[in-house]
Structure 1
């Protein structure tokens, strides 16, 4: 009975939060003047005209409006699918790089002391400034006789955001086993690799999975921003720009595109849920202490 209530609560809370946001949106549109509210020449509440703040139902019904040879919904589905593949690619790249760096830092203490600060600082670099550099460098690369494609730049840029939570979370997890547990395996003549596979990796799973969820969200954000920054067509990021340029009297298409991008993030996070299901046997933290300063 408790398990059933927990499952209902897990679904009910997000749905309830969404309904609350919708109710607040419509309440603001009903009560706030069309031109908004200003004090001292500064607007403190937004305009509520349809051009600035459409009704919620209009955001959904606009999906059926024509957009060239397709409907708006079909356009958003196609562009979201393109970005979905790029976000998953970025997540995969970021996960591989993050796990590799975490293993390297756990193995060698001097690498952690020298590299970890730069990993943290790397996230302060604005993505919009990094995107043109990656696109420019990528244009000079040829892989197996094939030229660099624009989508490759987007995947690399998005993975730049995705690798960070994986690297930090995985490092903490790899350092989770107690010194006594590590020494026990050493007493059995276990090699570093055996200790990594049979002790550190299972202990790292409870830290790795939340980091992977953060990386999934970051990969979607990175992909959308990279599409906008590099001007690459075909994805939901570029479609947001297109609809924003069309939002003169009705911004419902723009909000529909933003909603599609949000749902895209949920879809990528859903893929991570499959990994959580596969690793559920390791999902509970072991009762071990930190060994960050102990045996490596």
Structure 2
């Protein structure tokens, strides 16, 4: 028996039509999730195709010096140095990174750096999940905590990472606990968690507060305490709100990791390749776009990985959050 049935909610089952009454129209079945996934992928491919077409169309029609209005350039230049052709950037991925003999292809170097950044971002995402859910539980349990913490949680996202990352690295280098030594990648993971925890905390809080009052009162009539109500009512009800927050947190963790790598100078990640290849853009403009594509792919992989968690919790996703 579900909570809604026990609370006396009206049944959704309709009685059979009486003799002589016209048959009730049957509801159209909801599309399957597999069909929705295929449609989402198809529209995603269409969106990428539209972006490529707009890129090439602007490069073809716009002046080489870009669009200038009142002495201010509002749209970029269309030279091969500023805007390489899409097929040139794709072909450059298959070529070696450098002209040295035995150099790996560019895509392999970007993929290796991407795996490094993805691992650091994953560590930051896990920390962000723990901190975000813990804050949501505290704010849901005590309204005074919500009033006191939520404004500061929102305000925390206004701090610029470019200035914040070197400070975190400086503080981390002074941490000494026994034989433990703070590594540079831990500073990057901490900054990634700093961006990841915010959407998770807000989404989890909204999900925990989403059950109807009648259901909460029903649990009280059963003499259920805080923890049974949390596990049996609030936690399942929060899933449709929490999954989008987890996807957004994963994407934010990748952004934070890339920006932190640029700010702290960490070697081996996508952020380092962005700086290194940008310095070579004057002689090899297509090469500078490779780590940008790698960072985009990392964000998609990170957000898509949460879909596996959504598949595990599919029984609690009957009503997705709006």
Are 1:152 and 2:186 an aligned pair? yes
What is aligned with 1:89?
123
Q: Is 1:55 the equivalent of 2:55?
A: no
User: What pairs with 1:148-187 in structure 2 (closer than 5 Å)?
Assistant: 148-187=182-221
Q: Quote the offset at 1:146 in angstroms.
A: 2.2
How far is the alpha carbon of 1:60 from its aligned partner? 1.1
1:50-199 matches, within 5 Å, as 50-68=80-98, 69-143=103-177, 145-199=179-233
2:39 maps to what in 1?
9
Distance 1:58 1:236 in 2: 21
Mapped contact 1:37–1:46 kept (Cα < 8 A): yes
Measured against aligned partners, the alpha-carbon deviations of 1:198-240 in whole angstroms (never above 9, x if no partner) come to 1110011111011111111111110110000111111101111
**Highest relative contact order (Cα 8 Å, sep 6+), 1 or 2?**
1
- Report the 3-state secondary structure (helix = DSSP H, G, I; strand = E; otherwise coil) of the residue aligned with 1:38: strand
Distance 2:74 2:147 in 1: 46
Structure 2, unmatched stretches of 5+, are: 1-28
Give the equivalent residue in structure 1 for 2:74. 44
Are the aligned partners of 1:176 and 1:203 in contact in 2 as well (CA < 8 Å)?
A: yes
Between stretches 182-191 and 171-180, larger displacement belongs to: 182-191
Contact 1:228-1:241 within 8 A present in 2 as well:
yes
Whole-angstrom distance in 2 between the partners of 1:161 and 1:286: 24
Q: Which residue does 1:244 correspond to in 2?
A: 278
Larger mean Cα displacement after TM superposition, 250-259 or 15-24 = 250-259
The structure 1 segments of at least 4 consecutive aligned residues displaced by more than 6 Å after TM superposition are none
Shift of 1:255: 1.2
| TM-score, normalization by structure 2 | 0.85
1 CA distance for matches of 2:214 and 2:69? 64
Which structure has more helix as a fraction of its residues?
1
In 1: Cα distance, 2:277 partner to 2:84 partner: 14
The alpha-carbon deviation at position 182 of structure 1 amounts to 1.8
| Contact 2:206/2:238, CA 8 A, preserved across alignment | yes
* Structure 1 residues 39 and 177: alpha-carbon distance in aligned structure 2, compared to 1, 3 A threshold: closer
- Are 1:90 and 1:156, in contact at CA under 8 Å, matched by a contact in 2? yes
In structure 2, relative to structure 1, the CA distance for the partners of 1:246 and 1:74 (3 Å cut) is: same
CA contact (8 A) 1:52 1:250 kept: no
Aligned residue among 242, 267, 276 for 1:233: 267
Deviation, 1:186, is: 2.3
Sort the Cα spacing of 1:254 and 1:197 in 2 relative to 1 into closer, same or farther, 3 A: same
What TM-score comes out, normalization by structure 1 length?
0.92
**Deviation of the 1:181 alpha carbon:** 1.5
Alpha carbon RMSD of aligned pairs, Å?
Answer: 1.7
Query: Secondary structure in 2 aligned to 1:35?
Result: coil
Alpha carbons 2:247, 2:304 under 8 Å: kept:
no
Q: How many residues align?
A: 287
Equivalence map 1:215-294=2 (5 Å):
215-285=249-319
